[in-house]
């Protein structure tokens, strides 16, 4: 062919391709979002709230988004497989909702640079991996305040899962809250070394009730401790979701994990093409990410004090981890007026002064 | 024909014939090879029914579970995963098969697996961050010894005190789990892990990690050794005296004694070997696919391997096939979970059914059905 | 806080509650093993009983129906084991394990959709003035029906085995099935009935956990209780009344560990040295003690294990 023909052929080709591309750009495929759960959505706790977040995404975006999930995925190589399966099957964004998926998420993220990952409550990031969490300790502090006021035996108790910083800081803030209202309060802690085991959680709660405590809180995922409290005619706090249906007379309030705004926000970012991997995002009570179940089963004056504390935390004028603060051994951890840094909160491995239980080693 | 005709005919047949089982002088070879196949077919039928009850299309579910991982669109990823999942099962089952042939019931392979992993990982963590080509072989050695030692406890208690090895080895599984938890939170915990339970990830530690040898095949050292041991055992059992000794002891302990085999010696050897293999499986898992010593590191391979051993008819080559089949149920099951919403529990039920059918069909290889006319009395 | 803050009455009361499910499963398994059959599927039967009881109790609103359903559920699962081992002459160890696996998977399957709900409350008998007795009152007389039922079953089984003709036949079958057959006893029938009884008791034990103790349903919620029950049978030298002590020991150690934590006790202070009490060591203790007991009992020349335990019975030709 002569040169003119070649050029016109080439231009026709380019034009054709351009039309084809713009055509596909207009009819976009739904964004596929996947969720990896550590437990069942029926736990009425941690996974339950994540699943609600997933449903909120579906409701918000309608046909533009398609969600899938896999439940009861054990941490370890099975998680690698589950996450990889999702990445291979065309998912654009994958949420891995447990700390123990951290290394696995990163390993898969390395192999799939075009897929975006969100890992809950971890700290390792990458270009296509973000971390996210909630400032659950804000709500826990208010719970502590209520506990300090409501206890008649001056013994309040904690069903704790694993001695990791996020659990330790919530124990500390709970105690601090109670102490501000009741200097004589004592905290009992039982470690059950599981996130979800209704039998064990119930037994732990019962053991502490037998030892005299009358306000129960927990960092485990089932409603069992609260049900145990209800049976004993005592009060306590729900975890991760409003557990009133299980214990109408016992629940004072409870932390409600609200992942909806963050999830919707991140999916939107993927749709808009503005998604970027970032270091840990922590949902704040002021954003509605950390909710509290309606205050109930307590006298009005207790409610008023609690509401007041909550308001101060929400507008930022009060933060429990403000110095002077000593740890169990008497060492000064926060100087007068000093506020705990993100680093200190994320690596907290000491009890505050006043907690007599031995720190688990 | 009314509704009573069929029951009447059956009653007639039952009373006309008597059905009895007559033990065969030696197990039928054809049936022994056929029963696993039949069991799989029956399980697929029963499983299909189960899926139907759960509201899933049975043919689709069976295809997703059994066909797709090997031949489907993502099979390039899943085929290596099959090897990875099957390797520990095969290793442990090989050891168990030696024990079971001799009538020694090692139910505690899970515990030996854990201890092997702990010992091997501890070696690696002790040497961290030094790099050396000797670390990995040392880990293998120590992992095997760890499992061996843990199996020696029931072995010695059996030889010295005649204590039942089923219960001792089983109790030791729980003890091993608690040791694992204690170490994951305490001594072996990653100091740079922000306080979370779990050791360092061995996959990030080059000298200690159990990587794929040929990329894309999923074959790590555990896979290689599993297949190697399978071949080795096959030769051992068929050619070596030890193989004969275990077979004889299992079938007739008294005859074995008379022919000079020391039952105690056999107990120690078999349990020891089985423990060592389980420990090795644990070591390869912790330095490979799993990566770290953490709570929940063990996922029940020690128990699933018992099924693999039986499914493989206690024969090394059969075990390799059975291990791959079991791995297929795991991986296919996960795929079905994601694509069809099939509950994870269905896989466990499926595996249980497989063993049920196998055990029921087993009767055909050991016994003959005998139909006889009832004599008028 | 110190040890004195733990109330012995409450401790023993919660010990009794914790020991009931394993007690029930153990007494059932004891009968099975006395008949010469080793059923390792206790865990599967317990969890099946737990879910059957839970579903029926929740759907019908009546805990009593739930209890009955749990017995039937456990027995139904054990029937599979009975058919496999007594009619198909399958290996008992493998069959028991298959039962456990299947039971765990099957119960999780049918239990989907029943998580996170509370079953109807099970009432306790009102023993009136007996609860007023200091110490013993709170400890022994404030429990629910199933606790007392468990005690009764143990006593009844003890009487059955020792003083009744049927019990004697069962023991004979367990000791030497060939001789028992020669004497005209129906070995298979006795064993199947024993297996069904074991299944029913295990199912009842499972229902106790899901209907009373927790009360909720969660997959795999028995957490190895079935295996502990097997250990208790051996610990008790196959004698019914000793099952009580075995169950109390295991239940007790679990409860004790939690109470010690609650009381803030982290070490035992002996005069010369302190023993640290890490949670994991306490959790390990029942299993180590069982091994110790097993060794001690086997070391003695006489073993109480039924002679035909684990052997398949088959009449040739």
Q: Give A109-149 pLDDT, tens digit per residue.
A: 998 999 999 999 877 788 899 988 888 888 899 999 999 99
pLDDT (tens digit per residue) in B267-303:
899 999 999 999 999 999 998 888 888 887 888 899 8
pLDDT (tens digit per residue) in B2-32:
667 777 777 776 666 666 677 777 767 777 7
State the average pLDDT over residues C278-285. Answer: 76
Q: Hey, what are B334's tokens?
A: 């996960």
Contact B119, B349 (CB under 8 A): no
Torsion of CA C152, C153, C154, C157, to 10 degrees: 120
CB contact under 8 A, B197 and A89: no
Give strand pairing partners of C269. C274
pLDDT band at C161 (very low <50, low <70, confident <90, very high): very high
Q: 3-class SS at A15?
A: helix
Q: Decide if B338 touches C, using CB distance below 8 A.
A: no
User: In chain B, what residues touch C80 (CB-CB under 8 Å)?
Assistant: 356
Short-list C299, C229, C168, CA closest to C38: C229
Contact C73, C133 (CB under 8 A): no
Inform me whether the pLDDT recorded for A93 exceeds 70: yes
CB contact under 8 A, A210 and C6: yes
State the average pLDDT over residues B311-320. Answer: 88
pLDDT (tens digit per residue) in A238-253:
887 777 777 888 888 8
Share of chain B above pLDDT 90, in %: 21
Question: From the CB of residue C135, how many other CB atoms can be counted at a distance below 10 Å?
Answer: 10
pLDDT (tens digit per residue) in C210-262:
888 878 888 778 877 888 898 888 778 889 999 999 899 888 887 888 888 88
State the average pLDDT over residues B72-80. Answer: 82
Inform me whether the pLDDT recorded for B243 exceeds 80: no
Question: From the CB of residue A340, how many other CB atoms can be counted at a distance below 10 Å?
Answer: 18
| B150-164, B185-199, B224-238, B363-377, range with the lowest pLDDT | B363-377
Under DSSP, the state recorded for C142 is S
CB contact under 8 A, A198 and C218: yes
Best residue in C11, C108, C112, C116 to probe A by mutation, most A CBs within 10 Å? C116
Higher model confidence: residue B316 or residue A6?
B316
Residue B353, C-beta contacts closer than 8 angstroms, at least 6 positions apart:
B43, B46, B47, B50, C102
Q: Decide if B156 touches C, using CB distance below 8 A.
A: no
pLDDT (tens digit per residue) in B96-106:
999 988 888 89
pLDDT band at C301 (very low <50, low <70, confident <90, very high): very low
Q: Which chains touch C (3 or more CB pairs under 8 A)?
A: A, B
CB contact under 8 A, C97 and B22: no
Crossing angle of the two packed helices B75-101 and B263-287, in degrees rounded to 10 = 160
Domains and CATH numbers, chain B: 55-342 (1.10.3470)
Q: Which chains touch A (3 or more CB pairs under 8 A)?
A: B, C
Residue B237's pLDDT is what?
A: 78
Give the residue carrying structure tokens 């359903």.
C69
Provide the terminal-to-terminal Cα distance of chain A, rounded to the nearest Å.
Answer: 82
- Among the partner residues B77, B194, B334, nearest to A88 by beta-carbon distance: B77
Distance separating alpha carbons of residues A95 and A65, to the nearest angstrom: 14
Q: Decide if B187 touches C, using CB distance below 8 A.
A: no
| Burial group, residue A90, by CB count within 10 angstroms (0-12, 13-18, 19+) | exposed
pTM: 0.82
B35 to A342, B313, B324, B358: CA distances (angstroms): 62, 9, 17, 6
DSSP for B123-173, written as a single string: HHHHHTT---TTHHHHHHHHHHHHHHHHHHHHHHHHHHH---HHHHHHHHH
Minimum CA–CA partner of B348 in chain C: C105
CB contact under 8 A, A227 and C18: no
- For chain B, count helices (H), then strands (E): 15, 2
Q: 3-class SS at C267?
A: strand
CB contact under 8 A, C221 and A48: no
CB contact under 8 A, B163 and C316: no
Distance from B235 to chain A by nearest Cα, in Å? 33
Distance separating alpha carbons of residues A27 and C269, to the nearest angstrom: 74
Q: Any idea what the Cα angle at residue B280 is, between residues B275 and B284, rounded to 5°?
A: 150
Average pLDDT, chain C: 84
Inform me whether the pLDDT recorded for A27 exceeds 50: no
Contact C32, C99 (CB under 8 A): no
Pair type for strands A281-283 and A251-257: unpaired
pLDDT band at B112 (very low <50, low <70, confident <90, very high): very high
Inform me whether the pLDDT recorded for A346 exceeds 50: yes
Highest mean pLDDT among A79-83, B113-117, B233-237, C86-90: B113-117
Q: Decide if A349 touches B, using CB distance below 8 A.
A: yes
> Is the sign of the CA dihedral A310, A314, A315, A321 positive or negative?
positive
Residue C83's pLDDT is what?
A: 92
Distance separating alpha carbons of residues C262 and A132, to the nearest angstrom: 33
Best residue in B39, B169, B174 to probe C by mutation, most C CBs within 10 Å? B174
Q: Decide if B317 touches C, using CB distance below 8 A.
A: no
| B67-81, C52-66, C234-248, range with the lowest pLDDT | B67-81
| A214-223, B56-65, B338-347, range with the lowest pLDDT | B338-347
CA B180 to chain centre: 21
Average pLDDT, chain A: 84
Average pLDDT, chain B: 83
ipTM for the whole complex: 0.79
Edge-to-edge order in the sheet of strand A235-238? A186-191, A155-160, A215-218, A235-238, A251-257, A290-292
Higher model confidence: residue B131 or residue B87?
B87
Q: Decide if A226 touches C, using CB distance below 8 A.
A: no
Residue C286's pLDDT is what?
A: 74
Pair type for strands A325-326 and A332-334: antiparallel
């Amino acid at each position: 062919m002569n040169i003119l023909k070649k050029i016109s052929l080439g231009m026709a080709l380019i034009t054709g391709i351009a039309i084809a591309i713009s055509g596909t750009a207009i009819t976009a495929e739904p964004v596929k979002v996947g969720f990896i759960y550590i437990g069942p959505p029926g736990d009425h706790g941690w996974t339950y709230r994540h699943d609600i977040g997933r449903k909120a995404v579906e409701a918000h975006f309608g046909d533009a988004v398609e969600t899938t999930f896999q439940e009861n995925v054990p941490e370890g190589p099975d998680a690698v497989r589950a996450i990889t399966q999702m990445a291979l099957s065309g998912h654009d964004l994958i949420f891995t909702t447990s700390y123990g998926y951290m290394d696995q998420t990163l390993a898969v993220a390395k192999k799939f640079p075009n897929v975006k990952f969100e890992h809950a409550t971890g700290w390792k990031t990458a270009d296509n991996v973000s971390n996210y969490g909630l400032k659950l300790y804000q709500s826990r502090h208010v719970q502590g305040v209520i506990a300090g006021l409501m206890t008649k035996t001056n013994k309040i108790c904690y069903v704790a899962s694993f001695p990791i910083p996020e659990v330790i800081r919530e124990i500390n803030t709970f105690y601090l809250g109670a102490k501000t209202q009741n200097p004589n309060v004592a905290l009992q802690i039982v470690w059950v070394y599981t996130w979800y085991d209704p039998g064990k959680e119930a037994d732990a709660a019962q053991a502490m009730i037998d030892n005299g405590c009358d306000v129960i809180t927990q960092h485990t995922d089932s409603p069992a401790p609260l049900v145990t409290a209800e049976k004993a005619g005592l009060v306590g706090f729900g975890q991760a979701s409003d557990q009133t249906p299980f214990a109408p007379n016992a629940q004072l309030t409870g932390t409600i994990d609200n992942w909806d705004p963050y999830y919707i926000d991140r999916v939107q970012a993927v749709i808009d093409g503005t998604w970027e991997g970032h270091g840990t995002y922590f949902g704040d009570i002021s954003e509605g990410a950390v909710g509290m179940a309606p205050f109930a089963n307590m006298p009005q004056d207790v409610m008023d004090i609690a509401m007041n504390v909550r308001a101060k935390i929400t507008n930022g004028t009060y933060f429990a981890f403000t110095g002077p603060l000593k740890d169990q051994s008497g060492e000064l951890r926060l100087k007068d007026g000093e506020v705990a840094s993100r680093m200190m909160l994320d690596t907290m491995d000491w009890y505050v002064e006043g907690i007599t239980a031995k720190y688990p080693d | 024909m009314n509704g009573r005709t069929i029951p009447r005919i059956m009653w007639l047949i039952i009373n006309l014939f008597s059905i009895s089982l007559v033990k065969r002088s030696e197990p039928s070879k054809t049936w022994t090879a056929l029963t696993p196949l039949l069991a799989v077919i029956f399980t697929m039928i029963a499983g299909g029914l189960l899926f139907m009850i759960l509201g899933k299309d049975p043919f689709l579910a069976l295809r997703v579970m059994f066909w797709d991982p090997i031949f489907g669109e993502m099979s390039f990823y899943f085929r290596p995963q099959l090897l990875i999942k099957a390797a520990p099962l095969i290793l442990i089952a090989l050891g168990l098969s030696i024990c079971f042939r001799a009538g020694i019931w090692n139910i505690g392979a899970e515990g030996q697996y854990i201890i092997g992993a702990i010992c091997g990982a501890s070696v690696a963590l002790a040497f961290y961050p030094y790099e050396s080509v000797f670390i990995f072989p040392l880990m293998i050695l120590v992992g095997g010894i760890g499992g061996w030692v843990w199996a020696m406890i029931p072995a010695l208690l059996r030889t010295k005190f005649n204590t039942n090895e089923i219960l001792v080895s089983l109790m030791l599984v729980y003890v091993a789990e608690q040791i694992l938890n204690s170490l994951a939170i305490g001594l072996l915990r990653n100091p740079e892990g922000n306080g979370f339970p779990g050791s360092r990830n061995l996959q990030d530690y080059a000298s200690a990690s159990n990587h794929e040898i040929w990329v894309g095949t999923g074959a790590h050292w555990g896979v290689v050794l599993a297949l190697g041991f399978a071949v080795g055992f096959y030769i051992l059992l068929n050619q070596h005296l030890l193989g004969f000794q275990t077979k004889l002891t299992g079938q007739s302990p008294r005859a074995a004694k008379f022919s000079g085999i020391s039952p105690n010696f056999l107990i120690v050897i078999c349990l020891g070997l089985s423990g060592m293999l389980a420990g090795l499986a644990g070591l390869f898992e912790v330095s490979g696919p799993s990566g770290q010593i953490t709570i929940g590191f063990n996922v029940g391979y020690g128990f699933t391997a018992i099924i693999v051993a039986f499914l493989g008819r206690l024969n090394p080559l059969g075990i390799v096939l059975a291990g791959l089949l079991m791995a297929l149920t795991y991986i296919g099951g996960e795929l079905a979970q994601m694509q069809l919403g099939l509950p994870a529990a269905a896989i466990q039920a499926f595996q249980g059914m497989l063993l049920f059918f196998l055990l029921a069909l087993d009767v055909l290889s050991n016994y003959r059905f005998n139909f006889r006319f009832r004599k008028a009395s | 806080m110190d040890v004195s803050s733990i109330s012995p009455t409450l401790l023993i009361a919660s010990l009794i509650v914790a020991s009931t499910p394993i007690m029930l499963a153990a007494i059932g398994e004891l009968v099975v093993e006395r008949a010469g059959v080793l059923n390792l599927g206790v865990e599967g039967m317990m969890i099946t009983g737990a879910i059957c009881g839970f579903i029926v109790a929740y759907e019908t609103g009546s805990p009593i129906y739930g209890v009955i359903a749990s017995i039937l559920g456990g027995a139904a699962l054990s029937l599979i084991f009975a058919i496999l081992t007594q009619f198909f002459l399958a290996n008992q160890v493998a069959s028991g394990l298959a039962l456990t696996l299947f039971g765990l998977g099957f119960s999780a399957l049918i239990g989907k959709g029943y998580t996170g709900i509370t079953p109807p409350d099970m009432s306790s008998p009102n023993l009136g003035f007996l609860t007023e007795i200091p110490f013993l009152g709170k400890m022994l007389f404030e429990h629910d029906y199933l606790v007392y039922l468990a005690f009764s079953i143990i006593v009844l089984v003890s009487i059955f085995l020792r003083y009744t003709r049927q019990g004697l036949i069962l023991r004979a079958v367990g000791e030497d099935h060939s001789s028992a057959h020669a004497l005209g006893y129906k070995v298979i029938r006795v064993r199947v009935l024993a297996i069904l009884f074991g299944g029913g008791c295990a199912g009842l034990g499972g229902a106790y956990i899901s209907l009373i103790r927790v009360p909720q349903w969660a997959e795999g919620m028995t957490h190895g209780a079935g295996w502990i029950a097997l250990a208790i049978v051996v610990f008790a030298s196959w004698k019914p009344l000793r099952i009580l002590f075995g169950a109390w020991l295991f239940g007790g150690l679990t409860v004790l560990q939690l109470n010690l934590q609650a009381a803030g006790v982290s070490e035992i202070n002996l005069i010369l040295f302190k023993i640290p009490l890490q949670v994991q060591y306490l959790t390990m203790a029942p299993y180590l003690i069982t091994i110790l007991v097993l060794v001690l009992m086997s070391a003695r020349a006489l073993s109480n294990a039924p002679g035909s335990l684990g052997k398949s019975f088959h009449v040739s030709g």
